[in-house]
Amino acid sequence: MIAIPAVDLRGGKCVQLVGGDYDAQKVQLDDPPSVARDWIRTGFNRLHIVDLDAATGRGHNTEVIRDLLRDAGVPVQVGGGVRHEARIEQLLDEGADWVVVGTRAVEDEDWRGEMAHRYPGRLIIAADVRERAVVTKGWAETSRLNVIDFVEELNGLPLGGVLVTAVHLEGRMEGTDLPLMEDVAEASAWPVYASGGVTTLDDMRALEHRGLAGAVLGMALYTGTLDARRLAEEFGA
């Protein structure tokens, strides 16, 4: 299993939000490329970049993402507000290894099928979840779609993976939703990456034991709650 540091972008800064709430920002760092370089120097071999402004319709961080992709030197997955093929193609052309698509992939079955077959192995479908219901539009809207049902619908597509974020635990450093992640891993034909609440090495080991391919980590790393070097030594590759 691999640990993947998150570089979440808001207004050109690297931030961490609690529960996805823009009014509950706990971390702000002014130089995202420097942050990314620090994670790579620490020993991590994959990055997760999210454009929070694009995800919530507040703008975009396109130039920052371009800089991050140019300098990364490790595989990178990028998401946040990706709702059109032109943006998928742009991110791949600029160096993204995978593009993470959420809201439109959830809401438009025909589009996600077309995109998955057009870019086989290059899309990661994001299922953001609150109490097992999939949420969309930057976590602002809750659907009636059960995450397990949704993941099973994805099994026939040539995906690069599935990213499941436990929104109700995001940024709270209270541990992840192990029953949810285990059920998703069992239901999915594709590698599953967990996000939300991962706080300790024991959380990582528990996810690995339940068949997860990796975990995206944010708040626990940025606050120093989790020792980044120890994490990279055990789960960096």
Known catalytic residues?
A: 8, 128
10 Å CB burial of residue 50 (0-12, 13-18, 19+) is buried
Phi-psi region of 209 (alpha: psi -120 to 50; beta: other; left: phi over 0): alpha
Residue 176 CB-half CA count within 13 A: 33
- The CA distance from 35 to 31, in Å, is 6
Query: Distance between alpha carbon 106 and the CA centroid of its chain, in Å?
Result: 15
Closest CA to 94 of 86, 103, 84: 86
Angle, CA 228 vertex, CA 227 and CA 230 arms, to 5°: 70
